[in-house]
Chain A
Amino acid sequence: MAGGRFLVLGAGGLGCPALLGLVGSGATRIGVVDCDVVDATNLHRQVLYDLGDVGAPKVEAAARRLRACAPDLEVEPIPLRLDERTLSSLLAAQAPGTVVLECSDQPDLKFLTHDLCGEHRLDLVIGGVQRWGGQAMAVRHGAGACFRCVFEAAPPAELAPSCAAVGVQGAAAGALGFMMAHLAVALDAGADVAGTLVALDLRELRPQQIRPARRAGCPGCDPQVSRPVRGPLGPACSSAACST
């Protein structure tokens, strides 16, 4: 591992296994961002927590567990609700070389994080999971395709089935979270993974790797094109919480 510094946005279904994967890979410093508390309904997929953590802030429970796994690890719990202002400030405060993992369940936040990481020149892994599968993409702005080269915009709420309605299989969140950690560690180590999107469906057991070309006119990475217009963030994929 090179710098070994990571910032994980969302300590839920993807964030928990991603954090364990980072610790297991030798991360030296991790910031954990979430504004929610642990709920008993989270426990099947949010594997850092147990019944004793119910009601506790996720970032505190996660930091406690991670320190128990790796006493030398520097963990910063950050109980923060993310919007454009708070996220931009947070990213601006990161040391160069920090890799960001976007593990939230807010579609708009994934795109906002992507765009702001481009402005702050931070590498990024974006993940999403629902039911039995999902995807993870490694992004280094200026090297390979960006997330907006593949997906031009977030799905509107009326066309995106909510996690609350269709559920998230714990094993799928675990597999995708560890995949995100792997991609983040690979970015940190300078491996050639930027622009790679991995889609995984546990029912098929057939991972799919896509390395799309950069898209001319992409507002996410083409310097000749104006940046995307940003509005207020839409609702989370889950019905009430700020991360699942």
Chain B
Amino acid sequence: MPNVRIPTPLRKYTQGREEVTVEGETVAGVLDGLEQSYPGIKERICDEAGKVRRFVNVFVGEDDIRFLDNLGTAVKASDEISIVPAIAGG
């Protein structure tokens, strides 16, 4: 299953876990899987229309999904998915 790196601000949904594995053949599928396992997390990543929020970026490996097929980007079991939000503090 793909490995998902959870950013600090979202770890309250994953009981503090930094990385989780979730079933899914696309990024959208992985986010749905995340929501099933960790309710509430998806709405912090995606807006009401289902798009990735403007202050969040999602990478499959080193690749920004906006340069691939966005939420339709295919993922393999060996992939690592990073959710990277803009961090506000200073």
Contacts and interface: CB of A to CB of B under 8 A. Distances in A.
The interface size bin for chain A is 35 or more
A152 B55 contact: yes
A54 B89 CA distance: 21
A130 B8 contact: yes
Contacts of B82: 208, 210
B42 interface: no
Given A159-B53, A208-B82, A128 B18 contact: no
Nearest to A163: B89
A15 B90 CA distance: 8
B86 interface: yes
A160 B88 contact: yes
Which label, helix, strand, loop or mixed, suits the secondary structure of the B interface?
Answer: mixed
B55 A151 contact: yes
A121 interface: no
Contacts of B7: 133, 199, 201
B18 A204 contact: yes
Interface in B28-64: 44, 53-57, 59, 62, 64
Could you say which of B44, B82, B86 has the most chain A C-beta atoms within 10 Å of its C-beta?
A: B86
Contacts of B24: none
The interface size bin for chain B is 20 to 34
A95 interface: no
A215 B65 CA distance: 12
A128 B57 contact: no
B90 A210 contact: no
A129 B90 contact: yes
A129 B62 contact: no
Interface string A160-199: 1101001010000000000000000000000000000101
A12 B90 contact: yes
Interface of B: 5, 7-9, 18, 44, 53-57, 59, 62, 64, 66-67, 82, 84-90
Ranked nearest first, the 5 interchain pairs of A and B with the lowest CB-CB distance are A128-B87, A105-B90, A152-B54, A155-B55, A153-B54
Given A128-B87, A135-B84, A204-B18, 16 more contacts: A105-B88, A106-B88, A107-B88, A129-B87, A131-B8, A135-B86, A152-B55, A154-B86, A159-B44, A160-B88, A197-B84, A210-B84, A212-B64, A213-B67, A215-B67, A237-B88
29 contacts: A12-B90, A13-B90, A14-B90, A102-B90, A105-B90, A110-B86, A110-B88, A128-B89, A128-B90, A130-B9, A130-B87, A135-B84, A135-B86, A150-B86, A151-B56, A152-B54, A153-B55, A155-B86, A155-B88, A159-B44, A159-B55, A163-B88, A201-B8, A210-B59, A210-B82, A213-B64, A213-B67, A237-B88, A244-B89
